[in-house]
Structures are given as C-alpha cells and as structure tokens.
Amino acid sequence: MKFAQVISSLYSYFNSSFDWIPSTSTAKSHSPNVYPSLSGKLLLEKEVEMNKEEKEMLLSQGLLQRVPVIEDYVWGYLCRRCGNKKRRWFAGLPCDCGEECVYCRNCIEMGRVSTSSHFLVWTGSEPKWINDHVLKWDGELTFYQKRASEEIKSAIDSKNDLLVWAVCGAGKTEMLFEGLSHALAEGKRVCIATPRADVVKELFPRFQEVLPYVDMVALYGGSQHVDEGAQLVLSTTHQLLRYAQAFDVLIIDEVDAFPFYADSSLLWASRRAKKKESATIYLTATPRIRFKILSKLKKLQTVFVPQRFHGHPLPVPQFVSCFGWKSSLDKNTLPRKFKSWLHEKEAGTRRVLVFAPTIALAEQLADLIPNGVYVHSEDENRDEKVQQFREHEISILISTSILERGVTFPSIDVAVFHAGHRNFDEAALVQIVGRAGRSASDPNGDVVFFHDGKSEAMVEARYSILNMNDRSRKGER
Amino acid sequence: MHCLWCDQKILPEVTWLTFLTPHKIKVLCEECKEKFSFIVGPVCIRCNRPMEGKGKTCYDCERWIAQNPSLECNISVFEYNSFMQEVISKWKYRGDYVLAELFREDVQQRFDEAFSHLNNLVVVPIPLSEERLQERGFNQAEAIASFVNYPSENAIKRIHTEKQSKKSRKERMTSTNPFQIQKPQRSTIVLIDDIYTTGRTLHHAAEVLKLSGAQEVHAFTLIRG
Ligand SMILES: [Zn+2]
Ligand SMILES: [Zn+2]
Ligand SMILES: [Zn+2]
C-alpha cells in the first residue's frame, strides 16, 4: 500500500466520510423514474425485491451499484450500515465462500451482515414530487414561535444547521409547519426523526391533517408502513440506519432523548441519511452538554423559544427538604412534609403526578398513598393507567422516569420524590417540570422537589427554568 | 477484556496465583455467568431431565426404550431459562456466531466428565438441512462439537426439513426419520446438538447410526429443554 493510501485510510478513521456511497449521477437523469422505493436507501441485496433479470439489467446500466457492507481498512473494519469500527464488535464466521468472513455484531438485530454482504444502491434519478402543496392550518403563532419558524425556514433555504431550544409546551410542531411546507413545495425530501416511537405515532396523524396532499410515511419498529419513496418521512432515529444521502432536510426532534444521544451509531446514521448539502434542525427542551457548548461558542446557530404557547412562564420548582424519608418509609409511613403536601393537593381539583427514581421506590410509595397507583416501563397496563389518570379515574399517579417526556395532562401538580437521586439528571428534571401547567385554561401548576440534600442537577434544572422565564420576560433574542 | 454478552469491562482478578501463572481468558463477566443455570441434583439417568429421586428413568424415556432403543443416554450442561433463551436466540437465530465461545469451557469440562471413559469415541454433530444452513451460515451443533477433543464426523445427513413446530408432541415423537446415513461408523458415537427437548431428533439420528453398524450411541447437548 502506498504512503498516500495509508494516510487517506487513516484520515477515514477519524473523519467518517461517506465517500463510499455512490452519488446519484446527473448524467443518468434520463433514467426512468420507476424505482422511488430504492432512492436514498441502503438495502441489502436480499432486501431488494426484484426479479433477477431486472436486477442484472439495472446493475449493467449502472443504475444500481453493489457496495460492500463491511470495509477492511488498515486500521480495522468499518460496518457501513451502523458505523461500528470497534474491533471487539466484529467476529469471524466460517462462510460458504470457503474463507472466514467477518461480521458486525453491533447491528446483528437487523440481520447479520458480513464481509461478503453487499448493499444495492440506486444511482438513477430521484423521485419527483408534485409541487403544489397546501398547508391546511390557520392557527396563529406566538412571537417566539414565529421567530423560530422563520429561522427554521431560512436554515432550510441556506442548508444550515439550527438548534431550536424550546421549552416544554412551546408548541414546537406548529413552528415546523411553515418551513416544512416551503421545503416540500420546492420538491425537497424531508425526514422528521425522533428517538421515541410514541412521538412518531403521535405526529403522523397531525401532519396528515395539515399537509393532506403530501406523500408521507411513518416508520418505527413494528410499523407495517413501507417507504415507497415518500417525500416526508416520519421515523424513529433507528430507521435512519436504512438511509443514505436521502434527505434535503433532516429534523431531529428530542435530540437529547434516549437512545439517540447515547448511541454513536444513530448519530452516525443520522449524518449519513442526509444529503451532502442539506439542512439539519435539532429540536430540544433540554440539550445535552455537547449542544450547549456548540451553541455557546456560536458553532451551532441557536434560536430560543423561552415561552410556552399560552404565554405563561414555566412553573419554578420548589425545593423541600425531606430528611429521614428512608426511616419514615421503613416505618411504613410517608415523610411528614410530603404527606401534608399530598393532603393539601387532595383538597384541590388538580390531579397529582409523583415521580420516583426507581421502580422499588414507586412501589413503596404506592403502598403508602391511599388512591395511589404506580406505573413503570415494564407495566403491562401502562397505557390503561395513563388513560385512567387522564380521565380522572386515578387521582394520584406514581411514575418512574417513563412519563417524564411526551405525555401531557391538563391540570396536574407534580412532585419529585428523592429528587437528589442520580437517576434524575438535569434534563430529566426540566422535562418533569415541563409536565405541569400545560393547558391554557390552567397554566399554573405546583412543582415540588422533595430531597434529602440538593443535587447539582436540581440546582441546574431550576437555574435553567429561571433563565428561560427571564428570557421570555425580556423578550430578548 | 469485555464481557462477550453485555460488553461490560471485565477486570482480571489479580491474586498471587494469577500473578505467577498466566490466567485464563474470561469471556463472561461474573454477573452474566451467574445467570446460567447448570443441571444439578437428581436427573433421569437416560435423558438428564431433572426429576425426583435418584437413578430413575422418566416416563418419556420408558416410551423411547419401548419404541426405539438406539440411544443409550443424553448428557446436558445447562437447564433452559430465560437468560439462556435470550443467548440462544441471538446465537442461533440472529447468527451471532462468536457467542459459542460462552460455552466452550463448560462444554469441554462436562463432556470429559461424562465420556472420557469410553474408547474409540467419535462425535457426530446433528446436521441442518441445506436450506437452514444457508439461512444461518453455520451449524450450531458443529460449533459445539468443535470444542471437544475428539474426532468429529459428518456421518449423517438430513433429508427432511426441521419444520416441526406445527406438529403436536405425539406426532413429533412418532414421525418418520429425517436422517440418512452418509458415512457408516463402527465405533462408539456421541451425537451432539444444542438442545434436547423431546429427544426425537437424537433418537432418530441414533437409530440410523445403529442400523449402519455403530457400536453404541450416546448424546451430548448443551441444554436440557
Ligand atoms: Zn453493523
Ligand atoms: Zn456480562
Ligand atoms: Zn428421561
């Protein structure tokens, strides 16, 4: 191997370039546009449903290209499907070809790929979509929503990255409408990805309603939908593992949520899924440290939406010290301060949502609180209980972290029990506070952190909320 | 070192002994290791099924003796539990070949305990159908067989496919033999498979081998299902 090759190979380790993806050739623009379902996808040979002759023909015309899934570089292997390059996540396998093949262990749940596997990548023309989209929405945006909406639109036009830092309950979906319909009208392909399948299911009917003429699809684990070349793709971030240079606009909602922020292959796939020249919009109420730094250094353009859609400030959490809660629970009683807070709430009309750091603690609290019901991630009746709480059949719901995001109930008060526990990081606490005061008719809500020693996360969370309320009041940029 | 299952870092235990002699390479962390359940306590003397009372034969085995007495006995390493189910599904069905390493040491040890007293021993892995082999890329029985220090022969081949999940238990126990002899053996044989459930597969394979001249046929399976 020549020196220059070694250098370029080493370079490829540190800078995951996507040069290996064959580009859509403009010279072939005369090609018949009959394979929209292949466009922008990374499909394995066996995943391409097509008869053999047709496949051979497209290959010989160069409209389909075979690309090895696992590449052997001087520094080791790279799985081009999931971005894995850790040596210990590859292993050998005796193969039909007589040699020992190497397969990727990291993405094996999607079906095993090895050094003898290939993608078939479509390099013919991209699908064209009809361009007269109508946005069927006549709602009004607040000052801050409008500003964000304009920034989103201009980021899409200039193919830039943008962080939309919007408080919980800011009404971020509405802020997307304008930019989205603009991009779609220009024939751009758009993906809205989020780590959580619940969000995809929730957003899909919403978008169908406001963009009724747009060809769109919802993709998440277990969904029956197939992307046949839709212009608007709503998907979990996991589904991006099947795309390459497909989107002109990539919107990542709740970019700080699990598993996206913690899974390097999802991050990698999200970069691969968009075109070389494209816009990326990140939406979050609680950015992780990396985004905060990039934003602070002005490396990532940021627009704040510090105000909720109804114009009222976020509830500021109250810290109530509750030392000795452990010994109270051991004696099968609730800590005094917590108990009196609950009593006070029972007299009112709002329901109460209590967060506990662990399943064990949630269970213990539920035993001690009359009318208290607890719910956790593996609970079979989870949806049912949430529904009962919504319908006032349950007045006190005790939850582990599973209800910290996404769900909204009008008129609730919120308590965090043992708020100093390490399971409650800053993002979690800010999200929890964001559950209260969601409706315009009852924009207030009491939020209390019961603790036996303030944690840094608690202080940071309160600071971040005060800061947003401050921004909102000042109306500053 | 990282645990082959959960990827957690494994800290090598440093004692005066490990300091002086190169320590064994660990593939599993302690936490994962504890989740496997070994077969202990009284078992059926023929099929290794855990049961009450020592030195007895279970009901199913009595029936096999009456019907098809070709297989001497089965020895298994592990009991089936939910953790094992997870591991097997990733290994066999997802095709994470390297996970076989989780079993290497225990397979070697258990096999030697059970069979080292036999002479002229040949191991025969239960074959997969061509179709299934194509699908998975490897035969899990061969992977297990490769861990024991005895010659391995592909003495039989499969003529029917494995699809049996839709059949009832009775049908499965009486259905026609899916195996054919490929290389007749005269010596003592230990058949190898990943799991002993009804025993049908192993009894059929044993019958074919016995009819073509094998002296004795035993079985060794990773799991007693
Ligand atoms: Zn991979
Ligand atoms: Zn482990
Ligand atoms: Zn038995």
Answer yes or no: do B19 and B74 share one domain.
Answer: no
**If residue A162 lies in a helix (H) or strand (E), which one and from where to where?**
strand A161-166
- Structural contact between residues A266 and A259, judged by C-beta atoms closer than 8 angstroms: yes
pLDDT digits (tens, 9 = 90+) for A426-471: 999 999 999 999 999 999 999 999 999 999 999 999 999 999 999 9
Which residue among B2, B94, B134 sits closest to A112, beta carbon to beta carbon?
A: B94
Evaluate whether residue A230 is within a structural domain: yes
Q: Among candidates A322, A282, A320, which has minimal Cα distance to A303?
A: A282
Residue B218 pLDDT? 97
Cα distance between residue A126 and residue A32, in whole Å: 10
Q: Is the pLDDT of residue A237 over 70?
A: yes
User: From the CA of B142, how many Å to the nearest CA of chain A?
Assistant: 11
Domain co-membership, A191 together with A261: yes
Do A384 and A435 reside in the same domain of the chain?
A: yes
* Whether the Cβ atoms of residue A248 and residue A206 lie closer than 8 Å to each other: no
Residues A155 and A294 in one domain: yes
Closest CB to B97 among A93, A109, A111: A93
Point out the domain boundary residue: A89, A122, A155.
A122
Q: Domain total for chain B?
A: 2
Cα A340 to chain center, whole Å? 38
In a domain, A204, yes or no: yes
Give the pLDDT score at A31. 56
The shortest C-alpha distance from A239 to chain B (Å) reads 19
Give me the mean pLDDT over the A82-90 stretch: 95
Helix H or strand E encompassing A108? none
Residues B140 and B175 in one domain: yes
Containing structural domain, residue B53:
41-224
**Same domain (yes/no): A177, A209:** yes
Q: Are residues A369 and A250 in the same domain?
A: no
Return the residue of B nearest to A113 by Cα. B95
- A130 within some domain: no
Do A46 and A164 belong together in one domain? Answer: no
pLDDT at B14: 61
| Same-domain pairing of A252 and A334 | no
ipTM of the complex: 0.87
Verify whether the Cβ–Cβ distance B98 to A108 is below 8 Å. no
Which whole number is the average pLDDT over A291-320? 95
How far is ligand 2, taken at its centre, from the CA of residue A390, in Å? 40
- Predicted local distance difference test score (pLDDT) of residue A2: 65
* Residues B91 and B5 reside in one and the same domain: no
Residue A47's CB: how many other CB atoms inside 10 A?
12
Does one domain contain both B118 and B15? Answer: no
Residues B83 and B13 in one domain: no
Shared domain for B84 and B17, answered yes or no, is no
For residue A70, give every residue at least 6 positions away whose Cβ sits within 8 Å of its Cβ, in sequence order, or none: A77, A78, A79, A80, A90, A102, A103, A104, A113, A114, A115, A117
Task: Indicate if B110 and B165 belong to the same structural domain.
Answer: yes
Domain assignment present for residue A127? The answer is: no
Same domain? For B150 and B96 the reply is: yes
Residue A135: inside a domain: no
Please tell me the pTM assigned to this model: 0.86
CA of B207 to the centre of ligand 2 (A): 40
Q: Tokens 């169908």 label which residue?
A: A208
Looking at residue A179, its pLDDT comes to 95
Per residue of chain B (225 residues), give pLDDT as tens: 899 999 999 887 666 655 555 556 789 999 999 999 999 999 999 999 999 888 899 999 999 999 889 999 999 999 999 999 999 999 999 999 999 999 999 999 999 999 999 989 999 999 999 888 888 889 999 999 999 999 999 999 998 666 655 555 555 555 688 999 999 999 999 999 999 999 999 999 999 999 999 999 999 999 999
- In this structure, the answer to whether residues A156 and A301 fall within a common structural domain is yes
A101/A70 same-domain check? yes
Pair A300, A322 in one domain: no
Q: Are residues B51 and B143 in the same domain?
A: yes
Number of compact structural domains in chain A: 3
Q: Are the CB atoms for A127 and A39 separated by under 8 Å?
A: yes
Residue A262 is encoded by which pair of tokens?
């913690």
Choose the mutation target among B1, B98, B133 for the interface with A, i.e. most A CBs under 10 Å: B98
Domain contains A64: yes
CATH (domain of A344)? 3.40.50.300
**Confidence grade of residue A477 (pLDDT, cut at 50, 70, 90):** very low
B155-209 confidence digits (pLDDT tens): 999 986 666 555 555 555 556 889 999 999 999 999 999 999 999 999 999 999 9
Q: What is the pLDDT confidence band of residue A6, given thresholds at 50, 70 and 90? A: low
Please report the residues numbered 82 through 111 in chain A whose beta carbons come closer than 8 angstroms to any beta carbon of chain B. Answer: 88, 91-96, 103, 105, 108-109, 111
**Residues A470, A414, A423, CA angle at the centre, nearest 5°?**
90
Residues A347 and A469 in one domain: yes
**A163 in the same domain as A76:** no
Q: Which domain holds residue A338?
A: 318-474
